[in-house]
Structure 1
């Protein structure tokens, strides 16, 4: 199709979303490590593919954004995984109920979807990486200047 600059986003830490924690538990940990291990395996393969594609297509640039790494807490402070709204058994918001008053303090709106605050952090670190592992080999701001 002629794209010359491509951003490939990895998967989020699915084992940390409220619906998956509710379905599978965490064995006393913050997140479900088994699910996150499978996600990491997938993300590692995607990162390898991005590296390979950059070698094959010299007229194009590919970069990988590590959503799983970006969504990890910085330091030892656990992140809140409780949904911002009251949820039904299928982890969707109960209709006609009020969400939490300050959505900026929640990562998840319902059992599946990130809040605007969470998306802003992800987008900001994808565009200008905070840590070297946030994006490979470039963040989006550097990719756009190539």
Structure 2
């Protein structure tokens, strides 16, 4: 338990709940059961219980990661179109509703759980700014299979540092390094709340 108390944990939940459930109207009826505000509330309630369970198992230092711009993925663009925008705004708006509930959740957990040191990483903002580093921000690095993953019979792009997305939904290593780097040490005060991971390690 002493060792578990000293470890740093990352918690990342919600992206698939939107892209692989709520907005898959043809497979799931979630969007007919809940509007976007209700759905975010339900997810946060479940997330809160899971984070408390993690705490009960010994975790004390936890970085809670916000959702990225899911509406900017090649999968979202191909599925819904943008209606003139650069991304699918209905998806990005929905994940932002969820993200805005994470800071109050982190604050509540820190106040109510003795010794807890939860922090929020604003991946949405970091993700939005990180795409400026890439030449190709809305297309995949590889030829896609019917399920949106890389077709194993083809060769991916030769220079992955130029692409934000490896397949239809997942970041390239170059983009992941930017996200992880700013989570560890912020470049903007709004990248993390209340502290970044480098400071969390010192607590």
Assess same fold via TM > 0.5: yes
Partner of 1:61: 117
TM-score, length-scaled by structure 1: 0.92
Partner of 1:105: 162
Select between 70-79 and 43-52 the one with higher mean Cα deviation.
Answer: 70-79
Higher relative contact order by CA 8 Å / sep ≥ 6: 1 or 2? 1
Counterpart secondary structure, 1:48: helix
Partner of 1:6: 62
Partner of 2:171: 114
Task: Provide the aligned C-alpha RMSD in A.
Answer: 1.9
**Number of residue-to-residue matches in the alignment:** 146
Map 1:133-144; keep pairs closer than 5 Å: 133-144=190-201
Partner of 1:93: 150
Q: Distance in 2 between matches of 1:23 and 1:74?
A: 23
Q: Distance in 2 between matches of 1:75 and 1:99?
A: 19
Change (3 A) 1:74 1:12: closer
Counterpart secondary structure, 1:7: strand
TM-score, length-scaled by structure 2: 0.67
Structure 1 gap segments, 5+ residues each: none
Partner of 2:102: 46
User: As a proportion of its length, which structure holds more helix?
Assistant: 2
Q: CA deviation at 1:94?
A: 1.9
Structure 2 gap segments, 5+ residues each: 1-56
Q: Distance in 2 between matches of 1:126 and 1:105?
A: 21
Question: Is contact 2:130–2:178 with CA below 8 Å preserved after alignment?
Answer: no
Q: Distance in 1 between matches of 2:87 and 2:129?
A: 12
Q: Distance in 2 between matches of 1:76 and 1:100?
A: 19
Partner of 2:84: 28
